[in-house]
Amino acid sequence: MKPAQFAVFGHPIAHSLSPQIHQAFARQFGIELEYRAIDAAPAEFVAAVRRFFAEDGLGANVTLPHKATAFALADQRSTAAMRAGSANVLTRLADGRLAAHNTDGAGMVRDLTERHSVDLRGHDALLLGAGGAAHGVVWSLLDAGVETLTIVNRSAAAADALADAIGEPARVHTRYWQDLAEIGSFDLIVNATSAGVLGASLQLPFSLAGARALCYDLSYGTAAGGFLAWAKTAGARFAFDGLGMLVETAADAFELWHGKRPDTEPVYQSLRVQC
């Protein structure tokens, strides 16, 4: 009998740790599954997803650059996906329709609060970036009790649009990227830009990091290296990459598909050695 079929879609995707993570989760419960990485260029994504689910695929994770398209493709959407306007999980329902979820924000907050024992309440936060990654986490940061949130993006219009979508002008503000050296310091800085993934440097002023700042990059491994090096040089108290977030978001997807919650810590620790 053919194992249950799952996949992760992205472009590029060869570097993805998702197959390794889901196989490790499956071993915890004695579940047999096949989980593969599927590289689909943007023009090919919709057709590739439809083909995968037509050929008995049960669930798929979705990463850059397809999260907004995955959201649009779905027939049913979770509240988190609706708020973000993007999806990182697609699940085939019993009637063949597709349901979209976004577990990015919940995974990031769980990584910070449970794995790293950080209390996010009362923090003055700076969010770098206003694209899909930022949309995926911003509401969860606010739900976790962040006091104020300043959004800075190279396109000011995108930052303003995200702030307007949040609709909390007393807590959420936007500033211009060129003003970074003049906007003071923050005790939580989240890098949601794609700079590291693209191999670019952010060139951030050290004045952004407060004396006890926590800096968090949504990327992991080499992609997060530049931002984490900046954070340490700036004197940040903590500097974390998004590996734990990746494992936590995978656990949410696994629970959606299998109805069982995996133990994430041993999987995280085994991957930490690699990254």
Distance CA 193, CA 113 (A): 22
Which of the residues 2, 67, 232, 260 is marked catalytic? Answer: 67
Q: For residue 7, what are its two tokens?
A: 């996949």
Orientation of helix 18-29 relative to helix 243-258, angle to 10°:
50
Strand locations in 122-201 (E): 124-128, 148-153, 172-176, 186-191
Q: Is 67 a catalytic residue?
A: yes
For residue 42, is it left (φ>0), alpha (ψ between -120 and 50) or beta? alpha
Instruction: Find out whether 155 and 180 touch, Cβ atoms under 8 Å.
Output: no
- Across the beta sheet with 209-217, the strand order is 172-176, 148-153, 124-128, 186-191, 209-217, 238-240
| CA distances from residue 123 to 47, 143, 145, 150, 232 in whole angstroms, order as listed | 43, 12, 8, 11, 19
- Residues with a known catalytic role: 67
